[in-house]
Amino acid sequence: MSAPAVLDRSAFAAQAQSRAVRRVQRSVTSAVVVIGAGFWVVYAVVAVVVPLIVRNAGNQMDAGVLSAADYIARWVAFGTSVAMFATILRPHLAAGGTRGALRTGAVRAAAITGLVYGLLKALALLGERAYFEALGWPWQRLDGGALELTDLGDFALTALAEAVVTAVYLLVGCAVVAGYQTHGVWRGTALLLPGIALLALVELATLSGSTADLLGHLVTVDGAAAAGRLLAGLAVVALAAAWLHLRLRNLRLRPTR
């Protein structure tokens, strides 16, 4: 085979791989972002209506409705990523797509989705604080965050911390699909344990979620430590990406029943 033909074939393969990565990225990102945006719209309505009901009853709230958002939004990302990755996995491989394209597409989707979820959370908290101030109520965060969103740096750290958590949840969700696909129900369920450990680690690193409620007292929570916790969270993202890579590297399609 001549050199130009080899180059043309390599270029065609690279283009096909790039298209496959973009399809995986687009499929996962669009589903998780759309469902997540719907969640935040509904939650925003609740966050506005509930304080009005409380005020009209002559009472005052000590914390906003969004204090529970950490426990829900990331699981929305997790569940949606599981459903979407399970939907595209078989057709992708059957069409000649590679496991590498699945991995790269999922990692890119995690990065994009994480940033979107993080920005939505920070904006929602900022809006709730302004809403409470308009009602004449004090506002405080009860989600484990030490930052009060008093400046742009607080806002950015809050958004980035939630982006890190969401990215880990999405990557673990995709790894769960690959584990069940390869190993079936029993071994696939056993492989949930490393994924759960990753979810716990990222929540502890960012001091948010149920893990922070249980073990957060063991970690320093002052604002000066926020950047360090963010770096720890990024390390967990890398571990989650490596876990997904391992699950996809060993991926085998099991016959349907």
The predicted pLDDT at position 239 comes to: 97
Please, which pLDDT band fits residue 156 given cuts at 50, 70 and 90?
Answer: confident
* Bigger pLDDT: 64 vs 42: 42
What pLDDT digit, counting tens, does each position of 185-217 carry?
Answer: 888 899 899 999 999 999 888 888 777 667 765
Q: What is the DSSP string of 95-139?
A: TT--HHHHHHHHHHHHHHHHHHHHHHHHHHHHHHHHHHHHHT---
User: pLDDT exceeding 90 applies to what percent of the chain?
Assistant: 38
User: pLDDT exceeding 70 applies to what percent of the chain?
Assistant: 84
The continuous run of DSSP H or E covering 230 comes out as helix 226-249
Residue 249 CA from chain centroid, whole number: 22
d(CA 131, CA 149): 14
Residue 126 CA from chain centroid, whole number: 20
Handedness of CA 89, 92, 97, 101 (dihedral sign): negative
What pLDDT digit, counting tens, does each position of 105-133 carry?
Answer: 999 999 999 999 999 988 888 888 888 88
The predicted pLDDT at position 146 comes to: 44
- Both tokens assigned to 86: 């399970």
pLDDT at 29 over 60: yes
| Listed range (5-9, 102-106, 155-159, 236-240) with the worst mean pLDDT | 5-9
SS3 25: helix
d(CA 176, CA 162): 21
Q: Which among 140, 159, 240, 170 is positioned nearest to 206, based on CA atoms?
A: 159
Please tell me which of 79-83, 156-160, 253-257 the model is most confident about, judged by mean pLDDT.
79-83
pLDDT at 225 over 60: yes
CA distances from 142 to 48, 125, 145, 148 (A): 17, 11, 7, 10
* Bigger pLDDT: 220 vs 90: 90
